Amino acid sequence: MSEQLKTGSAAYSDAIAEVGLGHGSYRQYLPHHLRYAGTDIDHDAVAVARQRNPADGYFESNILAPNFGSVAKDQLAGLDTFMCANVLEHVEDDELAVRNLLSSLEPGGRLLLYLPAHQALFGVMDELAGHYRRYNQNDVPRIAGGEPIVQWAFVNPITAVSWWFNRTVRYASLNATSINTQIKWFDRWVLPASRLISPLTAKHFGLSLYCIIEHA
């Protein structure tokens, strides 16, 4: 994912806001020259991120709230890019969330999205993570709401196969030892190979879906 974030942010942004910090931030993967702000609905997540990178700006917000755009602009002048990595699948009304994000940008601003791909892969681990859905190719124009889609691609195809086999396994939690062992093994041995073949499967299959939507 870090490659997509670097490419998208470096090409389009001077000031970027990361929406949905969760338990960590992707700030470390972004070009250092960017002006950056991070936001989340969770107070503790914002506090931890602020402590980790005190030079950047962090604030609490709700992307479903009518005043989201004005709150974001107050925190980061010249905001031209939003980044949401593994966030929209946790939001029940994803179309409203994307509409709020895009309408908060000036014309030409970009929304970078990284989403779990293929509803057919939806399973136990998605349920444990609090996902409402995974995203198929047809979902990109749905959430874009008529706005231009600059780029999209599926990534990480090999790991998607493993996710499919795991979709019915009953894990007690996402912190189960068996899951953590699989993650370590895949990060070390499978992910490098998956990156090599991703260009061959980019329009068809992958664990995740990456896209860039422009506010016209």
| Domain 2-119+131-156+201-214 fold | Rossmann fold (3.40.50)
Residue 63: predicted pLDDT: 95
Three-class DSSP labels, 45-111: HHHHHHHHCCCCEEEECCCCCCCHHHHHHHHCCCCCEEEEECCHHHCCCHHHHHHHHHHCCCCCCEE
DSSP E strands: which ranges in 72-207?
81-85, 110-116, 149-155
8 A C-beta contact, residue 198 and residue 155: yes
Which residues have CB under 8 Å from 115's CB, separation 6+?
Answer: 86, 88, 89, 134, 135, 139, 208, 209, 210, 211
Where do the structural domains in the chain lie, given as residue ranges?
Answer: 2-119+131-156+201-214
Q: Measure the CA–CA gap between 127 and 108, rounded to whole angstroms.
A: 36
pTM for this entry: 0.88
Closest CA to 69 of 35, 98, 42: 98
| pLDDT tens track, the chain, 216 positions | 555 555 555 455 688 999 999 877 788 888 888 889 999 999 999 999 999 888 898 999 999 998 898 888 888 788 899 999 999 999 999 999 999 999 889 899 999 999 999 999 999 999 999 999 999 999 999 999 999 999 999 999 999 998 898 888 888 777 778 777 877 887 888 888 898 999 999 999 999 999 999 999
Residue 72: predicted pLDDT: 86
Residue 166: predicted pLDDT: 85
**b/e 8-21 (16+ beta carbons within 10 angstroms → b):** bbeebbebbbbbbb
Residue 156: predicted pLDDT: 94
